[in-house]
Amino acid sequence: MRKLLLTAVIAALVPFGLHAQTASDLMKGSQKDTANVLNYGMGYDLQRFSPLTQVNRDTVKHLVPVWNYSYDDNKSEESQPLVYNGVLYVTTNAATMALNAKTGEQIWKSKIEYPDETPRIVCCGIINRGAALYEGKIFRTTLDAFVVAMDAKTGKELWRSHAIDFKDGYSMTVAPLIADGVVLTGISGAEYGIRGFIDGWDPDTGKHLWRTYTVAGPDDPNGKTWPGDTYQHGGGSTWITGSFDPDLHTVYWGTGNAGSWNPTTHPGDNLYTCSVLALDPKTGKIKWHFQFSPNDPYDYDSVAEMVLADLNIGGKPTKVLMDTNRNGFFYVLDRTNGKLITANQYITKQTWAKGIDEGGRPIASEITDKVRQGQEQDVWPGAMGGKNWSPVSYNPGTGLVYANTLNFGMHYKPTTPEFRAGLTYWGADITWIWPDGPRGGLKAIDPMTGKAKWEAPSDIPRFSGVLSTAGGVVFSGKLTGELEAFDADNGKKLWQFKTGSGVEGQPVTWQQDGVQYIAVSSGIGGVYTLFSGDERLSQVPAGGSLWVFALAPQ
């Protein structure tokens, strides 16, 4: 009888185990589970590193496409694919799709509808950055600010929760994070006068569990860093997925720029904009915060990925958080307490700060002092920063962070914006200042010094994610369409393949039935394409699709 009962229990659990992603599955990440890609960032640490070695610096020249899948979409394709048990899940702004990871055959496609007016409150590309998987469900956000859960087997919608009214400038492009059994989502819209936040949702029902504002209000002691009611349009968007340390039960989520850009409209530190928040995922309570750019005039937002690693610092293993910040400095923090370990300039030119003091506060340059007095100035880096949203990769083997960096400045003229719901709330007129040479480069950065071991420059800067592997290869894409592979040790170009549009996606890798695959989305239309005025991209057609590569059989 006992044997029969045990058999029945196992029989009941098998299908669940096959189709459900448990919390412990999510904790493995791609470093311990090379058959799947279950997390945004390929692991809770957002390292985007794989221990796979079949594709390596010697074999990568044999990499060939094995299938291509049309997104039937002409927007920027920045979504990171997920892979679970041979099924690849990927999103666009207009659909969620499940594909056979080996053949590219479509298993299901679930379309997303949003009002025609929605794109007018999206500043920098009509996009979606990906989904999250948990216990047989797939979660995503929509441009008109809904969070949606679907059955991962069928694509059938299970619940749909409304975060906030898009007509007030709020939109959602972020890939959700599952941490301690809670679905976490961020928000976009700091250029539209929003008040940013991070939300927690019940994965089973879509019930709203908590909201933590990234712009401190009167009920928060740090609300005094905002004069009057300026916090109500204070920005602080949260459109890149946070990292998570399951041992510390802490989520690390970056926050965006202050609204408006003009710092004279809100004198003060403007907490918690341009910061990283350490949160309890179950309650949203802020454990600590660290602000990179107080009273930011330049759109040096800090939403981009907070990479977690254990580094040996002074002979001591240390739990760190690394941020290749848009302000041009590379930060290493102690993630147990938010204290600065080191911050060093990683870009060629910056003129807004004399440096970072021991406490982590920037020392303003004369240029920034003048801007804060309301004057026009030339400043480096420009509003797209030293690195934009494009996620870096950290290779624990080489100890280097591989980052698509930018090299251009701007002429900055503060203006006084008037808030109108649903319209931009910039607060500055800017004109780009271009360098004579390349506008960007893929750099291999030493996190403790900010110095680059090598750089692969690019006339038109790269805006794609980066992937590195134990095979000694670094992958990234170009806006002109090439997916490229570089030697992780010296930056030597090893391979490239020209896709049909510009690559702004996030490459991932996994191994299935003895074959290592590499996938990346192609599809131009993000912030640089729209906002730079770079006419050299006029011969790069729009058109989103997913490319998957493997070594050609020898």
Partner 1 sequence: MRFAACLIVGFSLCAFLVSARSQTTPDPPPSPQQFGKGSELFAQICSHCHGPHMVNPGTASFDLRKFPHDDRQRFFNSVSNGKKAMPPWKDVLHPDEIEAVWAYVRTGGVEPQ
Q: So which residues are the catalytic ones?
A: 299
Helices (H), 314-447: 366-372
- Token pair of 198 as six digits: 């991070």
Task: Determine if 426 is a binding residue for partner 1 (CB under 8 A).
Answer: yes
Q: Which residues pair with 518 in a beta bridge?
A: 509, 549
Task: Determine if 355 is a binding residue for partner 1 (CB under 8 A).
Answer: no
Determine which residue in the list 124, 308, 322, 551 makes contact with partner 1, applying CB under 8 A. 124
Site for partner 1 in 46-85 (CB under 8 A): 74-76
* C-beta closer to partner 1: residue 171 or 506: 171
Using CA atoms, how far apart are residues 102 and 87, in angstroms rounded to an integer? 8
Task: Determine if 433 is a binding residue for partner 1 (CB under 8 A).
Answer: no
Least distance CB 262 / partner 1 (angstroms):
13
Least distance CB 545 / partner 1 (angstroms):
15
Stretch that binds partner 1, among 59-67, 116-124, 148-156, 441-449 (CB under 8 A): 116-124
Q: Is 109 buried (19+), middle (13-18) or exposed (0-12) by CB count in 10 A?
A: middle
Residue pair 171/145 in contact (Cβ under 8 Å)? The answer is yes
Stretch that binds partner 1, among 169-177, 287-295, 514-522, 539-547 (CB under 8 A): 539-547
Site for partner 1 in 189-208 (CB under 8 A): 191
Least distance CB 425 / partner 1 (angstroms):
9
Residue pair 549/64 in contact (Cβ under 8 Å)? The answer is yes
Least distance CB 114 / partner 1 (angstroms):
10
Q: Which pairs count as long-range contacts for 116-120, CB under 8 Å and 24+ apart, including other chains? A: 117/166, 117/167, 118/143, 118/144, 118/166, 118/171, 119/143, 120/422
Task: Determine if 157 is a binding residue for partner 1 (CB under 8 A).
Answer: no
Task: Determine if 429 is a binding residue for partner 1 (CB under 8 A).
Answer: yes
Residue pair 238/214 in contact (Cβ under 8 Å)? The answer is yes
* C-beta closer to partner 1: residue 86 or 374: 374
Least distance CB 123 / partner 1 (angstroms):
5
Task: Determine if 535 is a binding residue for partner 1 (CB under 8 A).
Answer: yes
Least distance CB 126 / partner 1 (angstroms):
7
How many CB atoms neighbour CB 17 within 10 A?
12
- Tokens 């510390």, residue? 248
Task: Determine if 530 is a binding residue for partner 1 (CB under 8 A).
Answer: yes
Backbone CA torsion sign across 219, 221, 223, 229 = positive
Determine which residue in the list 107, 209, 340, 537 makes contact with partner 1, applying CB under 8 A. 537
Least distance CB 531 / partner 1 (angstroms):
5
Residue pair 455/441 in contact (Cβ under 8 Å)? The answer is yes
Least distance CB 171 / partner 1 (angstroms):
12
Using CA atoms, how far apart are residues 98 and 313, in angstroms rounded to an integer? 43
Task: Determine if 467 is a binding residue for partner 1 (CB under 8 A).
Answer: no
Comparing C-alpha atoms, which of 328, 331, 354 is closest to residue 341?
331
* C-beta closer to partner 1: residue 237 or 241: 237
Q: Which residues pair with 289 in a beta bridge?
A: 277
Least distance CB 390 / partner 1 (angstroms):
17
Q: How far out from the chain centre does Cα 231 lie?
A: 25
* C-beta closer to partner 1: residue 397 or 533: 533
Strand order in the sheet with 87-91: 82-84, 87-91, 95-100, 106-111
Task: Determine if 536 is a binding residue for partner 1 (CB under 8 A).
Answer: yes
Angle 290-217-208 from CA coordinates, rounded to 5°: 90
* C-beta closer to partner 1: residue 247 or 535: 535
* C-beta closer to partner 1: residue 45 or 77: 77
Cis peptide upstream of residue 272 (ω within 30 degrees of 0): yes
Distances (CA, A) of 504 to 31, 141, 352, 498, 529: 24, 19, 28, 13, 10
23, containing H or E segment: helix 23-32
Amino acid at 404: N
Determine which residue in the list 7, 431, 449, 490 makes contact with partner 1, applying CB under 8 A. 431
Size of the site for partner 1 (CB under 8 A): 37
Task: Determine if 113 is a binding residue for partner 1 (CB under 8 A).
Answer: no
* C-beta closer to partner 1: residue 157 or 165: 165
Using CA atoms, how far apart are residues 27 and 476, in angstroms rounded to an integer? 25
Residue pair 176/184 in contact (Cβ under 8 Å)? The answer is yes
* C-beta closer to partner 1: residue 117 or 459: 117
Site for partner 1 in 22-41 (CB under 8 A): none
* C-beta closer to partner 1: residue 76 or 377: 76
- Token pair of 478 as six digits: 């170009």
Least distance CB 148 / partner 1 (angstroms):
21
Task: Determine if 434 is a binding residue for partner 1 (CB under 8 A).
Answer: no
Angle 75-455-458 from CA coordinates, rounded to 5°: 40
Task: Determine if 538 is a binding residue for partner 1 (CB under 8 A).
Answer: yes
* C-beta closer to partner 1: residue 308 or 410: 410
Stretch that binds partner 1, among 305-313, 351-359, 389-397, 537-545 (CB under 8 A): 537-545
Task: Determine if 238 is a binding residue for partner 1 (CB under 8 A).
Answer: no
Helices (H) and strands (E) in the chain, counts: 4, 38
Using CA atoms, how far apart are residues 366 and 287, in angstroms rounded to an integer? 34
* C-beta closer to partner 1: residue 464 or 529: 529
Task: Determine if 422 is a binding residue for partner 1 (CB under 8 A).
Answer: yes
Amino acid at 483: L
Site for partner 1 in 500-529 (CB under 8 A): 524-525, 529
Site for partner 1 in 381-420 (CB under 8 A): 417, 420
Query: Could you say which DSSP state residue 553 is in?
Result: P
Least distance CB 501 / partner 1 (angstroms):
9
Positions touching partner 1 (CB under 8 A) are 74-76, 116-120, 123-124, 126, 191, 417, 420, 422-424, 426, 429-432, 524-525, 529-538, 540-542
